[in-house]
Amino acid sequence: MNDERTISGQTTMIWQDQARSVVRPIVRVMVIFSVGMSAALFLVWATSCSDDDWLLLRREPLAALVLAACDAWPFFAGSFVVVLVMLVGWYARGFSRVPEANRRIHYEATKHGLTTRDAANFALTVPWTSVVRVYNSDHTMQMVLVAGASRLVFWRAFATEDRAQVLNWARQVKETEPQPTRGS
């Protein structure tokens, strides 16, 4: 295939696209929230427990943790649900405020990078050299960038025969770069 060509595609984002793009951030926040909330609830339990509970904690730590979990699970579960609903609502509100015209995305892929442009002419160019990792599925290609951000490409925007070329461009940069040696 000719590596000098430009592959173009266009699609309109829908609610399913928004859901696919926010699953990872929501899961990441919920894991961090769960760990933090577990530690906080255990500390609250530990500072408010009786002398008998402290003795139980020293003699049978696992039984004491089960006791703490039994005391705190309703608050933990309620807080988890509230934070999850707030996050989903936040992302849904943000997506619903994007005008329909700005949901139309135009892609231009070359051997140097990918440019994403919306109807308001806001453009974002991602050079392939900044792509650290690529996750490919039937619907999307997720690119993890050097800065830690990630970008989604919706495959339905491209013709079937062009998808393989775009995926090759996204993956080839990291495969052809020399791997650093130890001590350098």
Residues 86 and 109 both lie in one domain: no
C-alpha of 36 from chain center: 20
Percent above pLDDT 90 for the chain: 18
Residues 118 and 46 both lie in one domain: no
Q: Is residue 27 part of a domain?
A: yes
User: Residue 108 burial by CB count (10 A; 0-12/13-18/19+): exposed, middle or buried?
Assistant: middle
Q: Is residue 182 part of a domain?
A: no
Q: Please say whether the beta carbons of 102 and 92 come within 8 A.
A: no
pLDDT in tens, 136-154: 888 888 888 888 888 888 8
Look up the pTM and report it. Answer: 0.65
Q: Is residue 44 part of a domain?
A: yes
User: Which CATH number belongs to the domain containing residue 120 in this structure?
Assistant: 2.30.29.30
Residue 143 structural domain: 7-13+101-176
DSSP 35-101: HHHHHHHHHHHHHH--HHHHHHHHH-HHHHHHHHHHHHHHHHHHHHHHHHHHHHHHHHHHHHTS-GG
Edge to edge, the sheet with strand 131-136 lists: 131-136, 140-145, 150-154
Q: Is residue 1 part of a domain?
A: no
Question: Among positive and negative, which fits the CA dihedral 109, 97, 17, 33?
Answer: positive
Eight-class DSSP state of 127: E
**Number of structural domains in the chain:** 2
Residues 108 and 167 both lie in one domain: yes
Q: Please, what is the average pLDDT of the chain?
A: 83
Of 96, 123, 158, the last residue of a domain is 96
pLDDT in tens, 60-109: 877 777 877 787 788 889 999 999 999 999 989 988 898 887 888 899 99
Smallest CA-to-CA distance from 144 within 25, 35, 29 is with 25
5-9, 44-48, 89-93, range with the lowest pLDDT = 44-48
